[in-house]
Every structure is written in structure tokens, then in C-alpha cells.
Structure 1
């Protein structure tokens, strides 16, 4: 089943996107800084969410990990 039709898979993909973009911005900030608008601006926005809301993102990642490991 596609991640679009399964809510838990969709949340997993979004969390992975946020974490990946924040990591890329921490390692190589110039890759995301030049694309603040347009379609590639989504990655810059995900990186900002990952930086500013990092305790919340970490809590959701831990919650998702427990959900995947123990509830399926």
C-alpha cells in the first residue's frame, strides 16, 4: 500500500523528511539556503521545522518508533 493511503506510513515519511532536511542543513547549509522559495523550498521549510521544533520532532520520532515496533 502506498504511504499516501496509510496514515501511519504518511507520518513516518513526513518525520523522516523533516529529520533528513534538518541534518542536511546542519552539515551543508548552503544546499538548502539558496532554495527558500518554490518547490524546493519545501525542503528548506522542513529543515526549519526540524531546527525550531526539535524536541517535538524527537518525541514524535520516539513515539513512532514504539508504535511501529510494539503495536504491529
Structure 2
């Protein structure tokens, strides 16, 4: 189990957050509610969505590498 206080836990949390925001962008009712603000606290969701959609190949590779690390190395 990944602990958030260690580097691998923070990376897992970040990857899951980016992937979740990119997925929620496709849901129409959440799109207007979560991603309408581009600044402030709610802007974090928008920025994570932009990272997830523009760097989808890099995020997917990072998820695979992190899964391999957690399952086999840790």
C-alpha cells in the first residue's frame, strides 16, 4: 500500500489525480461544474485535465511504470 508521505505515494496520487480529471472532462455534467474555473483552487482540476489530455502518452507510460514498480519492486 502506497503511503502519501513517501515519494512513490505522492507520484501515485498525482498520476491518479491527472487520470481522473482527464476522465471527468468527458462527463458532461462534471465538465461545467469542475472545469469552468481556470484559476484558484478549482483551477487545479482544469490544469490536471490539460496535463492528462495533452500528455496522454507520457501519463499512460508513467502509470505502467508505476504499476510495475509497485507490484514487483516494492
1:1-72 mapped onto 2 (5 Å cutoff) = 2-3=3-4, 5-28=5-28, 29-72=31-74
Moved over 4 A (4+): none
Gaps of 5+ in 2: none
Between Structure 1 and Structure 2, how many residues are aligned? Answer: 71
* Aligned CA-pair RMSD: 1.5
Provide the rounded CA distance (Å) in 2 between the counterparts of 1:31 and 1:46: 15
Q: TM-score, normalised by structure 2?
A: 0.87
> Which of structures 1 and 2 has the larger relative contact order (alpha carbons within 8 angstroms, sep 6+)?
1
Q: TM-score, normalised by structure 1?
A: 0.89
